[in-house]
Structures are given as structure tokens and as C-alpha cells.
Amino acid sequence: MKRLLVALALVLSACSAGGQDGPTTITFWDNNGGPGRTPIYEELIKRFEAANPNIKVEYVGIPSSSVQQKYDTAIAGGSTPDVGGVTTSYLAHLVGQDALEPLDERLESGPLKGKLLPGLLETVRQTAMDGKLYAAPASGNLDVIWYRSDLFAEQKIAVPDTWDQLVDAAAKLTKPADNKYGFTIRGGAGSVFQLLAEAYSYSGVDKFYDGGKSTVSDPRNAELVSKIAGIYKKSTPEADVNNNYTQMVAQFTGGTVAMMHHNLGSTADVMKALGAQKVSAMPLPKGPSGKRTVVPNPTDGFAVFKGSKNPDASWKFVEFLTSAESNGYWNEKVGQIPANTDVRGAEWIQKNPAVKMALGVLEDPATMLVPAPVYLPEYSSITKTDTEPLYQKVLLGQMSAQQFLDELAAKLTTAQQEWEKRK
């Protein structure tokens, strides 16, 4: 018996000693694994491990289409990673499941203090009911319209500044007999997200809620939705009603379509297929008000999970990823807006017209931001499951734009009221 105890003690001490001396391993889940981004992280991890020989980072790339399911399963099963890539579009779900570590104190007491764009910090904080920071923002994004600059130049069409000009340009660029269309609508998965950005850029309505009521149903928003529905099948391919991102990009890079609304995140996909001579980005056009209103695109960032056994090492890695050098490297590669303000002066930003343009829009004092209520637990279910099919009905002429927006607004209003009550 005594010998057994001694042996046990030995084993235990060996274990704990091993834990202190050997390298700590943390897992990192990339929420956008794939040929575009995996190599970037591999390089950054190599650099991090060189600088921190005591910490090993295990990279896991999750396909973006399954990342929410993967997180949900991991949280329910109690097997979360240490660090995970997240975007504000589903950050509220993770916070709601009490899965994340608040990062405010760590951020304030470290070298990143005051270095991250206040606007992005704000969008991250908004997703949590307690107003805490549950992810370190790494990258900002902006809705843009990718357009075929070569076709515009060829046909001497000016780059549109207003939605009406865009509609005209789309009509001019359309030649159904040659299978050429001016514009492509995202009618399938992810449609309403993009439609809202379009609607507010047109209407100039500068608040998402007015007196607790959703402004989505504003008649000026409906005007834009009708306009888009009006060009469906006329200046856009018929396929658009079911278009998800993959199909939309196939049409644009396949050369059928001259303009595509997406965001900076697709830079790599678009540039790889078409090249910088053929494609450029413009901001979403304005409406008759002439005001520039922008519904901010979800912010990418890194979260530390509560289940982490090594929160310090995890934070260290997050800090490293958001440091000026790594953050600059990452955003240069993917073509998005760096969250770290020290990167602002970097040379590559001047050389990347899309990022430069986006920064111009976001830093313009005249630009008004209309953040979507991604903090609502029901937000994605309302804008996806509930209303994406309705938008398709609008495109197919089975429902009016106003009716559709009224339904959407009613759901958003109810959800907001419930949220206010809980708050």
C-alpha cells in the first residue's frame, strides 16, 4: 500500500513537472479554413512559435460554411479550442452560450492598448449584452461592388456614383444574346445581409431603430428593393434568385457579369481569376439624398474560449495576431482593413486600391454608420431562415418589396423590444 502511494506520488509529481517545463500547446480554430487563408496562418504561427518557444499552436482550419455548427457542437460537448477566429455576425451566439472570455482587462493592460480601431472595438462590444469585449478585432470589412473596369472602359461607361446610375450602367452592359449581364443579385443564402446594406446606402436612413422600431420598412428602403427586383432577369442572370456566394462568384469570375456586390473579403477570389487590370472595387452607390450611409460589414476577430486551460498563452497568441506586424501581414494578404492603427501607414495599403478606397469611405466624416443589430440572438435566424425565402418571392414577383420589408421590420422590432427588456 505504501509503495503504491509512493508510486502514485511520483507519477503525479512527474506529471505536474512535465506540465511546467514542456511547451504549452494551444489550439487555434481558423473560422475560414481553405486554400486562401490557411497558408497565411501557418506562416504567422511559425513566427509566433519562433518568438515563443514555450508555446505551440495547433492550427485547425474549419470550413466557413460549417463553422457555427462546429462551435455549437464543441460548446455543447465542452471541447472548445483555446483561441478561435470569429466574426461579429455570430459572436452573439457564442457569448450567449457563455463560451468566451472577456478580454477588456487584458487588452487595457497590454501593448495593444489604444492601438485597435475604436470603431471596430465598438462593433465587437455591441454584440454582447454586458457591453464587454469578447473578441479582439483584427480586421474590418466593407461592402463593395466589384466591377469589370475593362468592360466599363471599353464601352465608355462612367463608374456609377448613385444607384440610378448603376441601374443604367447595368442595362447598358447587358447583352442577353451573348450571355452578358450588367449586375448580379445575391438571391440565395446570405441575401438579406447584403440587401440591407444596399437599402440603407440608397435610403440614407441613418439609424437602424427609431424609437425602438425598425426602420427597415422605410419606404425609401422599399424603393431600392423594388429597383433591384426590377432589374432581375433584365440586367441580371435568371440564376440570381438562388445565388449563394459560390454561384455568384462563379458568374462574376466566369465573365458573365460586370458588377457584383460583395465585400473586401472576396479580393483574393476575384483577383486570382480576373487580375487587377480587369477588376476594381467601388463603394455601394448613394441614393437621391446624396448621403453616404454604410451598414458595417461584420468584423473579424479572435476570441479566447472560457474552456481554455492556458488563457495566458492563448491571449499571448491573440495579442501576437493583432500586433501591427501580424495584423498587417494578414490584412495585406486577404485585402481587408487592418484593425491595428499602426498598420495604417503601411506601403501596401497605398498600393491596394480597394482597401484604400474602403478606408477613404470609412474615414470620411460625412459617412454615417448604421450598424445592424447583430447582437440580437434572433438576428441571423430572422435575416436568414425567416426572410431569405421572402426576398426570393419579391424577386419572382410573388410579393411586394414593401410587404417583405414590413414583415422583416416587424420581426426585428419584436426582437429588439425583447432584448431591451432583458437588458
Closest approach of other proteins to the CB of residue 416, in Å: 14
Which lies closer to other proteins via its Cβ, residue 101 or residue 378?
378
Q: Which stretch binds other proteins (CB under 8 A): 159-167, 184-192, 205-213, 219-227?
A: 184-192
Closer residue to other proteins, CB minimum distance, 119 or 377: 377
Min dist CB 277 to other proteins, Å, is 12
Is there binding between residue 253 and other proteins (CB under 8 A)? Answer: yes
Q: Is 134 in the site for other proteins (CB under 8 A)?
A: no
Q: Tell me whether residue 322 or residue 383 sits nearer to other proteins (CB atom).
A: 383
Interacting positions 404-423 with other proteins (CB under 8 A): 422
CB 268 within 8 A of CB 36: yes
- Of 52 and 381, CB closest to other proteins: 381
Residue of 110, 255, 307, 311 interacting with other proteins (CB under 8 A): 255
Binding other proteins (rule: CB under 8 A), the pick from 109, 178, 277, 347 is 178
Pick the binder of other proteins from 48, 147, 245, 329 (CB under 8 A): 245
Check binding of 187 to other proteins (CB under 8 A). yes
| 98 φ/ψ angles, rounded to the nearest 5 degrees | 60, 45
Q: What is the 3-state secondary structure (H, E, C) of the chain?
A: CHHHHHHHHHHHHHHHHHHHHCCEEEEEEECCCCCCCHHHHHHHHHHHHHHCCCEEEEEEECCHHHHHHHHHHHHHHCCCCCEEEEEHHHHHHHHHCCCECCCHHHHHCCCCCCCECHHHHHHHHHCCCCCCCCCEEEEECCEEEEEEHHHHHHCCCCCCCEHHHHHHHHHHHCEHHHCEEEEECCCCCCHHHHHHHHHHHHHCCCCCEECCEECCCCHHHHHHHHHHHHHCCCCCCHHHHHCCHHHHHHHHHCCCEEEEEEEHHHHHHHHHHHCCCCEEEEECCECCCCCCEECCCCCEEEEEECCCCCHHHHHHHHHHHHCHHHHHHHHHHHCCEECEHHHCCCHHHHHCHHHHHHHHHHHCCCCEECCCCCCCCCHHHHHHHHCHHHHHHHHCCCCCHHHHHHHHHHHHHHHHHHHHHHC
Binding status of residue 247 toward other proteins by CB under 8 A: yes
* Residues between 2 and 31 with contacts to other proteins, criterion CB under 8 A: 27, 29
Is residue 176 close enough to count as binding other proteins by CB under 8 A?
yes
- Nearest distance, CB of residue 3 and other proteins, angstroms: 29
Residue 109 or 398 having the CB closest to other proteins: 398
Please tell me the distance from the alpha carbon of residue 274 to that of residue 51, in angstroms, as a whole number: 38
State the nearest-atom distance from the C-beta of 25 to other proteins, in Å: 11
Closest approach, Cβ 237 to other proteins, in A, equals 5
Among 159, 189, 361, 368, binds other proteins (CB under 8 A): 189
Taking CA atoms, 9 is separated from 21, 150, 284, in Å, by 18, 74, 67
Task: Tell me how far, at minimum, the Cβ of 269 lies from other proteins, in Å.
Answer: 5
Q: Which is nearer to other proteins, 41 or 202 (CB)?
A: 41
Binding mask 374-403 for other proteins (x = CB under 8 A): ---xx-xx--xx--xxx-xx-xx-x-----
What residues numbered 303-342 form the site for other proteins, per CB under 8 A? 334
Strands 257-263 and 213-214: unpaired
- Asked if residue 59 binds other proteins (CB under 8 A), the reply is yes
Instruction: Check residue 179 for interaction with other proteins (CB under 8 A).
Output: yes
Query: Which one of residues 3, 20, 21, 35 is an interface residue with other proteins (CB under 8 A)?
Result: 35
Q: Does 240 bind other proteins (CB under 8 A)?
A: yes
Cβ closest to other proteins, residue 66 vs residue 155: 66
68: left (phi over 0), alpha (psi -120 to 50) or beta: alpha
The smaller minimum CB distance to other proteins, of residues 27 and 326, is found at 27
Question: Does 249 contact other proteins by CB under 8 A?
Answer: yes
Q: Is 177 in the site for other proteins (CB under 8 A)?
A: yes
For the CB of residue 214, give the shortest distance to other proteins in the complex, in Å: 19
C-beta closer to other proteins: residue 268 or 368: 268
Q: Does 92 bind other proteins (CB under 8 A)?
A: yes
Please name the residues in contact with 264: beta carbons below 8 A apart, sequence gap of 6 or more: 141, 142, 144, 281, 297, 334, 335, 336, 337, 354, 355, 358
